């Protein structure tokens, strides 16, 4: 059995149609079954394989993918974190209030306190440096 895709068998020297025993694809494959797997958007190569090497066509399609993103309370938490980080640079007092809301919301979502780090309530007078968020959340 020969299994091929993007192989040279179907592109070897020989006639376009009506292959004879003197054409390279026919001489090489002989009576060996030839399964040709191809993606549905590449039907032209599959046609060549069927015509030039008597391939049995087996097509497939890729599964569709989409960005899942966040949902419900997790999306709300993501927005609250963004708001908190922005507030720290513009209004530190508001940033401190939002930081506590972020921690409370995370606790409500059963996020482990270990993953949140040792948190404590900050005073608005403290200088806090928060690097800009770079995580992709959809």
> Percentage of the chain surpassing pLDDT 70?
74
Question: Would you state the pLDDT for residue 135?
Answer: 46
SS3 of residue 2 by DSSP: strand
Task: Take residue 56 and report the two structure tokens written for it.
Answer: 């049995």
pTM, 2 dp: 0.39
**How far is residue 62's CA from residue 71's CA, in Å, rounded to a whole number?**
26
For residue 116, pLDDT over 60 is answered with no
Name, in order, each residue with C-beta under 8 angstroms of 40's C-beta and a sequence gap of 6 or more: 59, 60, 61
Q: For 60-87, what is each residue's pLDDT tens digit?
A: 888 877 777 788 889 999 999 999 999 9
- Sequence-separated contacts (24+) of 15-18 with Cβ below 8 Å: 16/51, 16/52, 17/51
Q: For 32-63, what is each residue's pLDDT tens digit?
A: 888 888 888 878 878 877 777 778 888 888 88
Backbone φ and ψ for 33, nearest 5 degrees, come out as -60, 140
Q: For 1-22, what is each residue's pLDDT tens digit?
A: 777 666 677 777 776 667 777 8
Task: Take residue 19 and report the two structure tokens written for it.
Answer: 């292959």
């Amino acid at each position: 059995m020969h299994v091929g895709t993007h192989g040279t068998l179907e592109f070897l020297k020989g006639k376009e149609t009506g292959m004879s025993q003197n054409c390279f694809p026919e001489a090489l494959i002989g009576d060996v079954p030839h399964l040709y797997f191809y993606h549905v958007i590449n039907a032209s190569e599959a046609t060549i394989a069927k015509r030039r090497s008597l391939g049995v066509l087996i097509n497939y399609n890729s599964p569709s993918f989409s960005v899942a993103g966040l949902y419900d309370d997790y999306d709300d938490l993501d927005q609250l974190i963004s708001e908190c980080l922005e507030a720290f640079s513009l209004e530190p007092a508001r940033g401190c209030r939002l930081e506590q809301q972020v921690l409370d919301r995370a606790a409500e979502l059963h996020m482990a306190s270990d993953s949140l780090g040792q948190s404590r309530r900050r005073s608005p007078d403290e200088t806090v440096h928060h690097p800009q968020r770079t995580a992709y959340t959809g």
